[in-house]
């Protein structure tokens, strides 16, 4: 899932200082799971904004709305009719969600309440760890399902660096060397032969990227430029 964290409250207040009618929009999928932008977080942030504005002597209207996913047009369209009541949308979605709302609606400023961090998984209560860099050239079948691009501090894909000692990363001793983990996993799977063919040469993606499924694509109708 995409992991994000809420921006400092003072930064959010500063972004909203010129607005009197604010709609806080949450995302019920990734942001709800990582406890950054689900329905509960929308309620808390909206309440905090009302209190802060009142203490500053400002009269504001702060609306609340949470949709299933901010990154999909059909869910963004659910708030289309009500945005005319507001001056600004404060999105509690990831960077993709902010941009999709801004692109889809186009008639109202859309501001980010969160900082998008990475694609990751839960590593315990209240902790998430990055596991995927969305590089577009997945080699997980060669590395025992462990991504060196995202999980190696140097993104090495042809084996560990010379600084790895005792199974720990030389950049941060708090982190295990991911290549030690890969070796151990491949050993258990009897797939160490994959290590012999590793190369540091990779195709670097050109941004912005686009992914098209021709079997799902409508044959007629405009497509949005990037």
The lowest-confidence range among 86-100, 119-133, 158-172, 201-215 is 201-215
Residue 38: band (very low, low, confident or very high) from pLDDT cuts 50, 70, 90:
very high
Compute the mean pLDDT over every residue in the chain, rounded to the nearest whole number.
91
Position 167 pLDDT exceeds 80: yes
Average pLDDT, integer, range 191-218: 78
Average pLDDT, integer, range 64-69: 98
b or e along 58-70 (b: 16 or more beta carbons within 10 Å of the residue's beta carbon)?
eebebbebbbebb
Contacts of residue 103, defined as CB under 8 A and 6 or more positions apart, other chains included, come to 224
Position 222 pLDDT exceeds 60: no
Q: What is the CA radius of gyration of the chain?
A: 22
- Residue 119's DSSP bridge partners are 2, 132
* pTM for the predicted model, two decimal places: 0.84
Q: Are 63 and 82 in contact (CB under 8 A)?
A: yes
- In degrees and rounded to multiples of 5, residue 128 shows phi and psi of -130, 150
Q: Is the dihedral of CA 104, 106, 108, 111 positive or negative?
A: positive
Percent of the chain beyond pLDDT 90? 74
Question: What number does CATH give the domain 2-118?
Answer: 3.40.50.2300
Cα angle 127, 132, 138; round to 5: 160
């Amino acid at each position: 899932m995409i992991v994000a964290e809420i921006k400092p409250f003072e930064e959010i207040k500063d972004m909203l200082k010129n607005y009197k009618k604010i709609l806080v929009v949450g995302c019920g999928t990734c942001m709800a799971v990582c406890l950054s932008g689900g329905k509960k977080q929308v309620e808390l942030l909206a309440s905090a904004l009302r209190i802060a504005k009142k203490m500053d002597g400002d009269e504001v209207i702060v609306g609340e709305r949470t949709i299933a996913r901010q990154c999909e047009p059909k869910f963004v369209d659910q708030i289309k009719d009500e945005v005319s009541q507001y001056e600004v949308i404060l999105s509690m979605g990831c960077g993709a969600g902010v941009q999709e709302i801004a692109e889809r609606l186009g008639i109202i400023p859309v501001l980010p309440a969160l900082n998008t961090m990475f694609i990751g998984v839960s590593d315990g209560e209240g902790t998430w760890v990055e596991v995927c860099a969305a590089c577009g050239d997945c080699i997980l079948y060669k590395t025992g399902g462990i991504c060196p691009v995202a999980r190696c501090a140097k993104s090495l894909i042809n084996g560990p660096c010379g600084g790895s000692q005792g199974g720990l990363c030389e950049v941060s001793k708090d982190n295990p060397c991911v290549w030690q983990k890969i070796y151990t996993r491949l050993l258990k799977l009897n797939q160490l032969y994959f290590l012999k063919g590793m190369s540091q040469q990779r195709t670097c993606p050109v941004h912005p990227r686009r992914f098209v499924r021709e079997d799902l694509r409508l044959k007629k109708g405009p497509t949005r430029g990037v």
